[in-house]
Amino acid sequence: MQKILNYINGQLVEPVGHLFFENVNPATGEPYSQIPDSDDRDVELAVQAATAAFLPGATPPHPNVLPFWLNFRIN
């Protein structure tokens, strides 16, 4: 069964608590993957990584990324 991981700071990592939910196919009722049961510790790691990405001296995003987000609209 596929285990889906958190993507934090450019890496796929298990949740800090090592807990997962079963992801169930609604048509069959059968589990087909496991998804992270992330908690506040995982959120804090993600926030720290995101904050560090915008600190002075951090590697800037690819030049094509900014125009995409400037044109992104939610209907």
Grade residue 53 by pLDDT with cuts at 50, 70 and 90. Answer: confident
Task: Give me the pLDDT at residue 3, please.
Answer: 96
pLDDT value of position 11 = 93
What confidence score (pLDDT) does residue 54 get?
Answer: 77
- Is there a contact between 50 and 26 (Cβ–Cβ < 8 Å)? no
Residue range 13-50, pLDDT digits in tens: 999 999 999 999 999 999 999 999 999 999 999 999 98
Judge whether residue 75 has pLDDT over 60.
no
Q: What is the pLDDT of residue 69?
A: 61
- Domain boundaries of the chain, sorted by first residue: 2-71
Q: Report how far apart, in Å, the C-alpha atoms of 74 and of each of 61, 66, 67 are.
A: 22, 16, 15
